[in-house]
Amino acid sequence: MSNLPTIGAEDIHIIPQTIEISLIPKTEFDRIWASKIDLFEQLNLIADMCRANTLAGVKRAGSGHLGSSLSAMDIVVWLYYHVMNTVQIGLTDPDRDIYFSSKGHDVPGLYAVLFSLGIIPTDKFLKLRRLGGLDGHPDVGIPGIEANSGSLGMGISKGKGMAWAKRLKGLPSRVFVLTGDGEWQEGQNYEALQTAAHQHIGNLTVIVDNNKVQSDKLVSEIINIGDLEAKFAAFGWQVARCDGHDFAALAQVFEDFANIHDRPKILIADTIKGRGVSFMEHPFALANNGGLYPWHAGAPDDEAFTAAYREVLLRINERLQEAGLEPVTLESVSPEPKTTSTVSDEYVTKAYGEALVEIGAKRKDLVVLDADLAIDCKIREFEAAYPARFVENGIAEQDMVSMAAGIASQGLLPVVNSFASFLAARANEQIYNATTEKRKIIYGCNFAGLIPAGPGRSHQSIRDISLFGALPNMVIVQPGNATETRLMVDYAINQTSESVMIRLAIGPSPRLIALPIDYQCQVGRGAILRDGADAVLFAYGPVMLHEALLSSDILAIRGIRLKVVNMAWLNRVDDEWLMVTVAECPAIYVLDDHAPIGGLGDFLLNALVRLNLLERKSFHKFAIEGLPACGTPAQALDYHRLSGNLLAEDIAKRELPHETAPF
């Protein structure tokens, strides 16, 4: 395994399934559970069988989080198979015990456990990160899932609410919340520690999956969370610590905890990230990959998957043989139908990272801050080039933004980075506060928009424009390709005194968006990508521009000439340019990679009305209605009727209302 695949910290690719995949069916779990062997040996077997199914599920999905699914597995199996009443009394009984994971990305492992218990059926288990299947992060719409997570640090608070409600209702059942260890960089955890202790939430138990590694580096390297036992004790919790892979040790801790009712309890479970697959276990994987952990997210390639699956199966069968039981029976899984999403090799994030490095050579005042997503946000290159001007701040977006405001107050120019959904929402008040100080800060909002849709609602950022929109002196842009990204980064750093929010698609662009040869970065002026006089469609970002161009191609066949405009300026417009751009088009459309409220559509609508340009013209927004769908890009775009095909269909219906022929 010397040639490990390079996998990003967040799984933004889908690697298509190319080899055969098998599952261990529920009946096999029933067989082991019904056998007369020792409980801990049963649980060891079941955990490993769930590990095998987790590997299969993630491989089939083409993406997902393996490392912490494997580290948390023994704890989850212990809770569901031995501690909780949930399976016995059923998922709708108000007096059921509740388990959920606050970090949430370990959910492929939880799905495997729920599958083993018959709570998630086979067909659903095989649809990880697919529409109508299992979301990439937990969603309560899925059987057995008790809380939505994926954005970090909310779990203890939520578990506290559940436990408080149980107490109010006089129900004796309990709540168990799993957290990560890196997750303890989020401040909300400490709010919850404090309030739960004060409120004497004795029916709440928190387990820290202390696997030592976050996205790609050791927690102690990113932001050390220090002596957890001392911390938790100082917050008034009952603290225990044990090996999180040792069922006997877990049994002892839970027995001790059962006698404590006057305060909340927390177990620091020392675990190994990637537990159960030798080359995914973090001590080995870090040593063999230059100190970076490659199995946090993303599916293994065929070679790695085959080796991992073989190793786990071998161990299961050896144990079964030792216990005098038959080897495990596998069920082969039919391959997934092919999907047709186009993908190029262009990344706007890559251009973003490169531009920061390039400009950083001249601008010695440029400082880049990270919230443990440096690989995804492509800022590790800046870190390598200018280590003194790079701040790793861990998973603490609020602290990062306020720190940036402090840095800006001293005459430096900070660029803060995270995923759009975390940065725009979690740190919103801190961003406002910096704005009231008139500090110039650049906000790199990665992973903006509907796509990739596999990770689910916690990660899909469809409100960020609205969250930045009402801030004065804040320019919001989203570049459509790498060239435009470089221009926009230069604009943000060198050409404006205002703060700039740069919205970036994080996945590979579906195609290279070709800009006009003479394209320049001019505030409030978009670029016409395809001309047409029947209607104009404003769009932005590589994902939606691709769909817009596709719809224009399709409509051209129907004789509808749809002008497509790349409007990278989401809250600035040049009046004259707008006038000319919409002049000949009787219909104006906006394609928002955003909720229908507060995006480009609303901004342009205001400008059009202000300039009196809507007279005898129609206006319509296409946007992401409701909650964003989880699935492949094609599935999510179709679901929201924003794929090129469906856009064309809906525009044709509006342009040719009397034609009844099927599209």
CB of 92 to a second copy, least distance (A): 11
Q: Judged by CB, which is closer to a second copy: 43, or 175?
A: 175
Q: Judged by CB, which is closer to a second copy: 223, or 554?
A: 223
CA–CA dist 495, 227 (Å, integer): 46
CA–CA dist 89, 118 (Å, integer): 14
CB of 613 to a second copy, least distance (A): 11
Q: Judged by CB, which is closer to a second copy: 164, or 569?
A: 164
CB of 433 to a second copy, least distance (A): 6
Q: Judged by CB, which is closer to a second copy: 62, or 150?
A: 150
Q: Judged by CB, which is closer to a second copy: 310, or 364?
A: 364
Degrees (nearest 5) of the Cα angle 31, 37, 42?
Answer: 65
Q: Which of 49, 48, 55 is nearest to 28 (CA)?
A: 49
CB of 417 to a second copy, least distance (A): 15
CA–CA dist 83, 85 (Å, integer): 7
> Cβ atoms within 10 A of the Cβ of 283, count?
12
Q: Judged by CB, which is closer to a second copy: 420, or 554?
A: 420
* Structure token digits, residue 258: 């059962």
> Strand, coil or helix: what is 423?
helix
Q: Which residues of 565-594 are buried (b: 16+ CB within 10 A; e: fewer)?
A: bbbbbbbbbbeebbeebbeebebbbbbbbb
* Structure token digits, residue 105: 């990305």
Give the length of the chain: 663
CA distance readout (Å), 529 to 281, 480, 599, 626: 49, 11, 21, 29
Burial (CB count within 10 angstroms: exposed 0-12, middle 13-18, buried 19+), residue 9: buried
> Cβ atoms within 10 A of the Cβ of 662, count?
5
CB of 234 to a second copy, least distance (A): 4
CB of 252 to a second copy, least distance (A): 25
CB of 588 to a second copy, least distance (A): 10
**Alpha carbon distance, N-terminus to C-terminus of the chain:** 51
* Structure token digits, residue 232: 């938790």
CB of 596 to a second copy, least distance (A): 8
CA–CA dist 618, 622 (Å, integer): 13
Strands 499-503 and 442-446 come out as parallel
CB of 133 to a second copy, least distance (A): 17
CB of 10 to a second copy, least distance (A): 17
CA–CA dist 228, 240 (Å, integer): 10
Q: Judged by CB, which is closer to a second copy: 579, or 614?
A: 614
CB of 605 to a second copy, least distance (A): 6
Q: Judged by CB, which is closer to a second copy: 60, or 426?
A: 426
Q: Judged by CB, which is closer to a second copy: 539, or 629?
A: 629
Q: Judged by CB, which is closer to a second copy: 312, or 608?
A: 608
What sections of 292-427 are H helices per DSSP?
302-322, 348-362, 380-385, 397-409, 420-426
Q: Judged by CB, which is closer to a second copy: 579, or 597?
A: 597
What sections of 79-226 are H helices per DSSP?
86-89, 107-116, 122-125, 155-168, 188-198, 219-222
> Strand, coil or helix: what is 380?
helix
Q: Judged by CB, which is closer to a second copy: 263, or 319?
A: 263
> Cβ atoms within 10 A of the Cβ of 242, count?
17
CB of 135 to a second copy, least distance (A): 10
CA–CA dist 346, 508 (Å, integer): 6
